[in-house]
Structure 1
Amino acid sequence: MDDHSPSSLLTAEKPWSARPLLAAHVLGPFLVTLDGVPAGLWHGGRNESLFAYLLTHRNPWPSRETLMHVFWPGSTQDAARNSLNVALHGVRRALRTVTERPIVRFLGNRYGLDPAVRLWLDVDEFDRHLRLARLRRLAGEADAAIREYEVADGLYRGDLLAENPYEEWPVLPREQWRLAHVDALDHLGELSFAAGRYAAAAGLCARVVEGDPCRETTHRRLMVCQSRQGQPHLALLQHRACADALWRDLGVEPSPETQALYQRIRRHEPV
């Protein structure tokens, strides 16, 4: 049952900035801290995965039945309920390493986070900085957009629950956030290129095509960066990498625009 103890109510009445801060990283290595102190003893990926689900599904709180279906779809109702109780016990045990306060609450057949605790979640911050970057970019504020994209890139320490690759529920959001990160790098590369920062742009383009090898426009931008840095041989090799990826993954040849760029670089013409 939900905790309405006097200590809980006193904490809830504290100013927002004075309330405990729960910080959670679910992009890359899983890490949870309370007021800077790491919570430990998670004892397995399922406990981490369950808590990550509660962190990323807060509105509305998921019901008991939803959690049972998401995590134990092939089990009987009794077995799934028992497994859920065991996993929740593991989550609460890990959180008790940093606080006796019940962080996970149960109310109205739903599970969620104690609303009296502030939450900092890396995916929320990642999305927020991407939104700010897009707004700055649309407003023509290139330097401000670059700063926002760089912050977003710094927050992306790896794919969602990277250490738990076999959990099923993160598959779709993992790919969505991964592609959002690749898009962010691509936009950052465009802005760096427009500012004449060719070395920075080349590094960003290389990261983009590593995550999405068929982004032909990014291959071309990288070829131009390499050529303008006095490395036409690398640009020609990049064209080969682009052609190989397009044929391997899509069964198509590079576009006429890419072929024309290749020929210009091959003839040592300025690009």
Structure 2
Amino acid sequence: MTALRITLFGDVTLDHAGLQGPVKPTRTVRALLAFLLLHRDHTHRRDMIAGLLWSDLPNKQARNALSTTLWRLRQVLEPDGVPKGAYLLANGSDEIAFNCASDHWLDIAEFEQQTGRALAIPVPLLEQPDLQALERALDLYTGDLLPASYDDWALVEREQLRRLYLNSLAHLMRCREHRGEYGQALTAARRILDLDPLREEIHRAMMRLHAAQGQRARAVRQYDRCRLVLDQELGVSPMPETQALLAQIRRSPDRQPANDNPPAETPFAHALAELQRARQEFAQAQERLQRAIGLAERLASLPQSSLPARNLSEHGKIDRS
């Protein structure tokens, strides 16, 4: 049995086997723990972490806040019965890190490993055990990372994990569709639109899937939902390929599966579709870009000596104190 189970998706919890029930840390402890785990392959200077997590405080106060939070983190990571230094490593007074060699399980690590493996396999080559492993990994995503945190670094990490989740769901959806498992493909598609309702290609996939099941009316209603959300959020109409798919579905008789591919586009229609797609993607990418710029500017403002990410192996022995 794994000695320590840690979840970062949704509610952050720590569960020490045989010692106590699951523990939910305080907000600042959650943030520090999440940062160390997300960057678990490196050791980090305290000045850098203090500057990221307490950017609104003067340097000395930020360092004091970090010291207090670090003490509280040690209480939940290494309670009575757990050796000091089992999970939290410190190099003198300057650097800290999570002990990757410890006996622990981390939901995000499992999620990234399994989704990465599945995404590397082409759709036609994914077999049922692969799909089941992917679905188990996706079920680990019980909520966004640190949903209550609006710090730049947390926003960037949260967005990256959400993108991986959505891309993995889309891969699962395409695999289920390829196998003719339309109901399961629809379930994956709905999960995507729950988080990102502007993904027009997912609306099209749902239209195809409904049509493949002989549910033409549902396919048309899906188009209507797509048209409405694009108009309300972006002020644009569905792409020509989406409209072409709608026309194809309307022409098809009831109970007859629709062709997955819409009619061939003219060069002009293709160019127009690319323009529409760019307009939609720009609105979504702009916010992500601003978040990344904010994080980069914050890191650039820190002293060079406090910048992070040197590998643990470069530092020799790390004190467990």
Q: TM-score, normalised by structure 2?
A: 0.71
Unaligned runs of 5+ in 2: 259-321
1:123 has 2:105 as partner: no
Residue 136 of structure 1 and its aligned partner are, at CA, apart by 3.0
**Does the CA-based 8 Å contact 1:159-1:174 persist in structure 2?**
yes
For residues 24 and 218 of structure 2, the distance between their equivalents in structure 1, rounded to whole angstroms, comes to 48
Moved more, 129-138 or 197-206: 129-138
**What do the CA deviations read for 1:153-191 (whole angstroms, capped 9, x no partner)?**
1221111123x3344431111011111101111110111
Match for residue 50 of structure 2? 68
For residues 170 and 99 of structure 1, the distance between their equivalents in structure 2, rounded to whole angstroms, comes to 32
1:228 has 2:220 as partner: no
**CA 1:40–1:141 in 2, change beyond 3 Å: closer, same or farther?**
closer
For residues 268 and 223 of structure 1, the distance between their equivalents in structure 2, rounded to whole angstroms, comes to 13
**What do the CA deviations read for 1:139-164 (whole angstroms, capped 9, x no partner)?**
823434422321221221111123x3
Match for residue 265 of structure 1? 249
**Does the CA-based 8 Å contact 2:12-2:24 persist in structure 1?**
no
**Does the CA-based 8 Å contact 2:123-2:171 persist in structure 1?**
no
Match for residue 297 of structure 2? none
Which residue, 177, 180, 187 being the options, matches 2:161? 177
Which letter does structure 2 place at the counterpart of 1:226? H
Match for residue 88 of structure 2? 104
Match for residue 132 of structure 1? 117
Which letter does structure 2 place at the counterpart of 1:194? H
Moved more, 73-82 or 97-106: 97-106
Residue 135 of structure 1 and its aligned partner are, at CA, apart by 2.9
For residues 38 and 137 of structure 1, the distance between their equivalents in structure 2, rounded to whole angstroms, comes to 41
**What do the CA deviations read for 1:26-78 (whole angstroms, capped 9, x no partner)?**
01111112336545363x21111111211122232111101110111121222
For residues 201 and 24 of structure 2, the distance between their equivalents in structure 1, rounded to whole angstroms, comes to 46
Identity of aligned residues (%): 29
Moved more, 172-181 or 226-235: 226-235
Match for residue 50 of structure 1? 32
Which letter does structure 1 place at the counterpart of 2:23? G
Which letter does structure 2 place at the counterpart of 1:154? D
For residues 62 and 183 of structure 1, the distance between their equivalents in structure 2, rounded to whole angstroms, comes to 30
**CA 1:98–1:168 in 2, change beyond 3 Å: closer, same or farther?**
farther
Match for residue 265 of structure 2? none
**CA 1:155–1:130 in 2, change beyond 3 Å: closer, same or farther?**
same
Q: How many residues align?
A: 251
Which letter does structure 2 place at the counterpart of 1:248? Q
For residues 183 and 132 of structure 1, the distance between their equivalents in structure 2, rounded to whole angstroms, comes to 13
**CA 1:39–1:216 in 2, change beyond 3 Å: closer, same or farther?**
closer
**CA 1:209–1:116 in 2, change beyond 3 Å: closer, same or farther?**
closer
| Structure 1 ranges of 4+ moved more than 6 A | none
For residues 127 and 24 of structure 2, the distance between their equivalents in structure 1, rounded to whole angstroms, comes to 44
**Does the CA-based 8 Å contact 2:189-2:206 persist in structure 1?**
yes
Match for residue 6 of structure 1? none
**CA 1:253–1:98 in 2, change beyond 3 Å: closer, same or farther?**
farther
For residues 140 and 171 of structure 1, the distance between their equivalents in structure 2, rounded to whole angstroms, comes to 35
**CA 1:116–1:201 in 2, change beyond 3 Å: closer, same or farther?**
closer
**Does the CA-based 8 Å contact 2:10-2:142 persist in structure 1?**
yes
**Does the CA-based 8 Å contact 2:145-2:158 persist in structure 1?**
yes
